[in-house]
Copies of this chain bind each other. A is one copy, B any other.
């Protein structure tokens, strides 16, 4: 949980409700319900999703923390009724699925597999997106925007080239895999089609970008306050994510020092800035004023139509793992959830720096900071 913004989620995949409580949001923020609904819809899209996304058109209600459409400084509650409620009637499972929480979870908690997979399910991310949507609404008030795009699906990787934020906003329009290149999009979709045919699944890489970030969010003074550490924590905690990297990321291993850092410049009307952005906008655990660029690798979906070998926990015999309805590829959705995670961490770091109990107050503080920066 953040230092100022804090949230908890609850809910099982086939339980009655998904819910979340978020506290620390200043008063006076107008809630754009259509925006939140839109974010949830974006999470459900993407070529290669399974049937469930069609069953549930998620719509979350904000059941606390508002008065006449605006936040009041109180905890905000999110509530979403699952349409497919049947948890208590679903059968127990005995063959843990490789790649899932099944085995470790049922041993840890002294439970059956059903009790584990219901909570471990990525259905929980509907609440992370809801919370993140609120964080985005807050950040928008300060000119901060966040976007994602898909960089790789299976063996198909977007050709590397410098992209502006605007290039991405524009480029992903119309792509069913949230990729900025039409040709690559088609190849990615073909890759997914192939996986479906092979009864296989695909992983990939998404990139999240945030622009309009002031210099100085996060801190170098203590490990747990570093902005990149907090974002990494959030992203790795997303189901299927196995790697996170900032800026050039793992490619920095092979880059010599002279080519690895971002030279500093200054212009009167612009203040300090960097000539490149290899660091992905974070140096010394702080935002450095450039766009934040972070990417995450998702392993392929673990639930397979051609199940892997497992063990029947009752008999200890080798058997194929159980199968639960699932997607072929969820990387585009992963990007949307990744945006929400990054939004939450940025909003928390923003409030940690600027304080303020009302949007008005936080804005006063922020404006003063911009004035101060213009004099440094």
Contact = CB atoms under 8 A, between A and B. Distances in A.
A223 to B, nearest CB: 4
A233 B234 CA distance: 9
Contact of A11 (B77, B230, B264): B77
A109 B353 CA distance: 10
Contacts of A57: none
Copies of this chain, tallied across the complex: 4
Contacts of A152: 253-254
B372 A110 contact: yes
A262 to B, nearest CB: 5
Contacts of A68: 88
Contacts of A148: none
A365 to B, nearest CB: 5
A151 to B, nearest CB: 9
A28 B243 contact: no
Describe A's contact surface by its main secondary structure.
mixed
Contact of A104 (B79, B101, B263, B284): B284
A201 B258 CA distance: 7
Given A1-B224, A285-B237, A318-B265, A72 B111 contact: yes
B223 A234 contact: yes
A286 B101 contact: yes
A246 B296 CA distance: 12
Contacts of A224: 1, 233, 237
29 contacts: A10-B21, A10-B77, A12-B74, A17-B63, A17-B77, A27-B109, A72-B119, A74-B119, A79-B79, A101-B286, A104-B215, A104-B220, A104-B283, A104-B284, A108-B219, A201-B258, A223-B237, A226-B236, A229-B236, A232-B235, A250-B250, A258-B308, A260-B300, A261-B299, A264-B308, A264-B309, A272-B311, A354-B365, A364-B368
4 tightest CB-CB pairs across the interface, nearest first? A101-B284, A355-B355, A108-B216, A201-B257
